[in-house]
Structure 1
């Protein structure tokens, strides 16, 4: 006697189906934002320690203002 196993795809609820396009759009917007040169520069800055910044004569706050420009003031 042979046994078979079937796997059903999980069904999305009505709300899940309605939210799916918005979730997808949010993921696309996140990918676009992460591709930004400013975001890449902030990630590089985040990888530096405060001691390394001090050796370079920089401050984290000053670098954030340099990278973001006017947007840092908001």
Structure 2
């Protein structure tokens, strides 16, 4: 007599897929938030005068490089 041992992985598979989707969405939202923070920082620094930037040790042409240093 043959015994068939069929296991159903439907519930764990669905939960795993849902978790993976959730993690992907959270990573994307985190990246968007970080990008928005960098854009705001660039805008804030760009609005400063050259003297104010000089006091911070930043040249106007290096604002983006300064803000994006952790990425580049």
TM range (shorter): 0.3 to 0.5
Structure of greater Rg:
2
TM-score, normalized by length of structure 1?
Answer: 0.39
TM-score, normalized by length of structure 2?
Answer: 0.40
